[in-house]
A and B are shown apart, each in its own frame.
Chain A
Amino acid sequence: DTGVSQNPRHKITKRGQNVTFRCDPISEHNRLYWYRQTLGQGPEFLTYFQNEAQLEKSRLLSDRFSAERPKGSFSTLEIQRTEQGDSAMYLCASSLGLALETQYFGPGTRLLVL
């Protein structure tokens, strides 16, 4: 499978715990995006990387959220001190440079904070 992969696919955690998600992009794609999607809404941009550089982080993203892409390949998204409002689908996507028509989404990680 050469698509975007995400792990875990589902995560249930208690409020206050930290969680970390992983995304493996399509191998030749140098751009990697994180989105969050709640029920009835479209994906909401969180942050993106070009290679290992984080180029933008949404103003909506609190300092409890951090993302890394240390070697320009896979990326991790960590949420510290989770809150019930963090419950959502976290989507990763990758693209070949600025060509957004090449952007493919992974299957997502569904987070439930109890």
Chain B
Amino acid sequence: QKEVEQNSGPLSVPEGAIASLNCTYSDRGSQSFFWYRQYSGKSPELIMFIYSNGDKEDGRFTAQLNKASQYVSLLIRDSQPSDSATYLCAVTTPYNTDKLIFGTGTRLQVFP
């Protein structure tokens, strides 16, 4: 079982819709969770991080964490074509909080 799993997509949503991206992780003790956006040919950029169960909102982005079910999700409201990118989920493990373990990413396509 992979440590961090994401559906590779593509996830296609119309402009203005809510995009929902999901991530599951295998280690119940994982403590910190991050969402990165990566445009084609570019490096990842951090858009959200969450440490506690529940929701965390930042502008059009909401991260949701459910440690009991071992999943973390990212909601993008009012999706724009410029949101089209690959979204990477990353977690830290309980035995090593110093580094990130990344999923393979979900490709999001927002069409006009």
Contact = CB atoms under 8 A, between A and B. Distances in A.
B43 interface: yes
Nearest to A106: B43
Contact of B99 (A41, A45, A89, A108): A45
A107 B41 CA distance: 9
A11 B88 CA distance: 25
A100 B93 CA distance: 13
Contact of B100 (A41, A56, A103): A103
A32 B71 CA distance: 28
A107 B101 CA distance: 19
B100 to A, nearest CB: 6
A105 B90 CA distance: 14
B105 A42 contact: yes
Interface in A74-110: 89, 91, 98, 100-101, 103-108
B contact patch SS: strand
A105 B88 CA distance: 13
Interface stretch (B11-19, B44-52, B76-84): B44-52
B46 A43 contact: no
A108 B100 CA distance: 17
A40 B110 CA distance: 19
B43 A101 contact: no
Interface of B: 4, 8, 32, 34, 42-46, 49, 88, 90, 92, 96-105
Given A42-B4, A45-B99, A45-B100, 11 more contacts: A33-B99, A40-B8, A42-B90, A42-B104, A43-B100, A55-B98, A101-B49, A103-B46, A105-B43, A105-B44, A107-B42
16 contacts: A40-B8, A42-B88, A42-B102, A42-B105, A43-B88, A45-B101, A48-B98, A48-B99, A56-B96, A91-B43, A98-B97, A98-B98, A101-B46, A105-B45, A106-B43, A107-B42
